[in-house]
Structure 1
């Protein structure tokens, strides 16, 4: 508490006259936060603590400064500004009209209902700009001027604005944002324990050979014990994407996502329609445009028919089938397959025995009332760990977080 605090240097730096001198700042902040909560603002302990700390570090010299100090501490959303202004005017009934500026003249007199405000407070230095980044509530059209000061308006990020839009409504530039977002979310990729060990003083296992080798210098007495720990490596990821006609709207977005996996998680990427195509070399390009062009050129049967079971069997039988052992497998397809369901079940059973986890992304799984009634999807579902929707940015972000979970 700050009852009857002595006059400090910070209190005197504005000519020796400040508000709230001799006032319990913590009690004032708690009472003001309680009124804000009654008006619907989320004024919690963190916001109240920030306000008390701000009053201690920079005591307000005018109601103008106190307004901006409280607004910065308590207002977190633009929609809360009206409620905050109403509460502030209810407490300080003679506050100057909004929008408050750095050159606003403080009130010449105050009543003693809430606080004792001294008279003759000097104005803050003009030209300092608004102490917050967002704009005050508009009251009139701004006149053009030559002032270099600007107050930028906070807006949602590009990804937040596009999170719920279907992929077919996005242009190539907006789809490229997906790859950047996936790359950022894959910063911490899960690792697996290998059979190899490395020397580590904090290890729990004793390395016998190095310990015995050092014991030769001490008459075969193991004076120095060498310890080791298991070596952990990033878990392998394999992505298999359906580029048939029924997946035309999602094809570009899925390719951007798979390119992010190849760059960050060193994943193996395959695409299929009627035949299987390995896209890993094509997607490992610095330029996203070049990677998309090479991947599109490599898949010669894109936007054609679909043979999911045949292509999964071809992958398991090829020399790339060993990359599926202990891997995180992601299959992106709507499940429409021209192969018989029995063949799909056999291929998925083989894949289940090799893979660590299998995630199936279906762009139609998020539709209301969806049920996996398609023969191919119904045959593959018992062998999948998760069936996830993948029709928007938000769906893919949730799938990537689940896939990257340790």
Structure 2
């Protein structure tokens, strides 16, 4: 073992000082790297020490000659070092430069041989060599999802739809939270933790010198999504099922599909395999691609034993607003839903079309009771809707925005 019992930092500083006197520019960072390298891999031979010092201290090919002379002088007691780099004869740079690896005994290599320092690449042809056409650079291709970000859902194949589902599950990183019943210790809390304060007072003669404060532990809000799978939503049904699966696997949501009646899809969409989950959910909805009764299905949800899941939760409705129920029935049901839910988001595939306005009877009746109307006709729209939920969670605003707003 070389340098046994030697202070590694003292050795590195002394060796770097010799290199600097020879004209090699070595900074504090390189010196620190050498100390760490010697600690991580103690040198077992002269060759190992050479490569450890060379890798950590030498940054340019022109400095190799100075480094080799200093290393040889220190360990071989060779000729005195030159005081400047100009005294060192420059090496000719060939296409493949080889440097002799110093060593002792069998480790010594013959002159002119060794490991290559660098193999220079072939020169790039200039515009004159190409006949004035310039350099032919490869075209950058977008990712699989970025290429179809603005593509309508009906033009996506199954693989692209599954990739969209994976992206939606990854994008659901934050979710709106509510105040929970449990508390945790926090110096900035407003409430005094009586048990913890009394427990600490036992150490100070029952004098409450240290007051422990606590704050409520936040709890994720429940998510409830209702997806329209009627005939007018045939093109968007597959993509919306991927969004529903993302909610069930990440946000522990309750999801329902409806056309003429309500179908709960929470259990089928929690399957481990994404493809099997979508197939099972599609088979469970036997009234899809038929008529639409939005108001009647929302009322059925509120009247069922699943209606308590809406209380204080975020309700996401995905539909184009075409409803066979009268508008006044829709207004009454949405008023009930508004009083019970924390936020109501409506995803409409028609909302992003130029010149679109919510003039359909069902959509116009529901608009005053929703918090945000978002377009949802492309994969980019669904990802933007998920980011809207993330922003809602990060801002943590407790007030309800103005009703009837849409983008």
Please classify the TM superposition score into its range, dividing by the shorter chain length. 0.5 to 0.7
Q: SS of 1:229's equivalent?
A: strand
Does the CA-based 8 Å contact 2:173-2:390 persist in structure 1?
Answer: no
Q: CA 1:241–1:220 in 2, change beyond 3 Å: closer, same or farther?
A: same
Cα offsets for 1:151-181 (capped at 9, x unmatched): 9874211111000110101101000111111
How many residues end up aligned between the 2 structures? 286
Q: Counterpart of 1:170?
A: 156
Provide the rounded CA distance (Å) in 1 between the counterparts of 2:217 and 2:150.
41
2:336 — aligned with what? 350
- Equivalence for 2:379: 393
Contact in 2 for aligned 1:238/1:268 (Cα 8 Å) = yes
Matches within 5 A, 1:151-300: 154-200=140-186, 203-216=189-202, 218-300=204-286
Whether contact under 8 Å (1:245, 1:304) holds in the other structure is yes
CA distance in 2, matches of 1:131, 1:184: 43
C-alpha deviations, 1:39-64, integer Å up to 9, x for none? xxxxxxxxxxxxxxxxxx96798xxx
- Give the corresponding residue for 1:122: 93
Offset of residue 127 of structure 1: 5.2
Larger radius of gyration: 2
Where 1:404 maps in the other structure, the secondary structure is: helix
Q: Secondary structure at the match of 1:345?
A: helix
Q: 1:232 Cα deviation (Å)?
A: 0.8
What is the deviation of 1:129? 5.9
Q: In the alignment, which residue of structure 2 is the partner of 1:143?
A: none
Mapped to 1, the partners of 2:126 and 2:144 lie a distance apart of 23
Shift in CA distance, 123/339, structure 1 to aligned 2, threshold 3 Å: farther
2:351 aligned with 1:365: yes
Q: What 5-or-longer segments of structure 2 have no aligned partner?
A: 1-21, 27-57, 63-89, 97-117, 132-136, 394-407
**Partner residue of 1:335 out of 321, 345, 348:** 321
The TM-score with structure 2 as length reference comes to: 0.64
Shift of 1:336: 0.6
TM-score (norm 1): 0.64
Q: Using the alignment, how far apart are the partners of 1:136 and 1:181 within structure 2?
A: 42
Structure-1 separation of matches of 2:280 and 2:122: 50
Q: Contact conserved, 1:328 with 1:403, CA < 8 A, in 2?
A: no
